[in-house]
Amino acid sequence: MSMSRMSPGAQQSATLVDLLDRVLDKGLVVAGDVSVSLANVELLTIRIRLLVCSIDKAEQIGLNWWRNDPTLGGKRQTDGVGAGDVARLEARIAQLERQLKTKGG
What's the whole-number mean pLDDT along residues 1-28? 71
Q: Is the pLDDT of residue 2 over 50?
A: no
Q: What's the maximum distance between 2 C-alpha atoms anywhere in the chain? A: 94
Q: Is the pLDDT of residue 81 over 90?
A: no
Q: Is the pLDDT of residue 17 over 90?
A: no
What's the whole-number mean pLDDT along residues 34-44? 91
Task: Tell me the CA distances in angstroms from 17 to 9, 14, 51, 99, one per residue in order.
Answer: 12, 5, 19, 69
Q: What is the pTM of this model?
A: 0.41
What's the whole-number mean pLDDT along residues 72-78? 62
DSSP string of 39-104? Answer: TTEEEEEEEEEEEE--HHHHHHTT--GGGG-GGGTPPPP-TT--HHHHHHHHHHHHHHHHHHHHHH
Q: Is the pLDDT of residue 13 over 50?
A: yes
Quick one: pLDDT band at residue 35, thresholds 50, 70, 90? very high
Q: Residue 69's pLDDT is what?
A: 76
**Residues 6 or more apart in contact with residue 45 via CB below 8 angstroms:** 33, 34, 35, 36
**Residues 6 or more apart in contact with residue 68 via CB below 8 angstroms:** 74, 75, 76, 77
**Domain positions in the chain:** 3-36+44-104
Q: Cβ distance 45 to 35 under 8 Å? A: yes
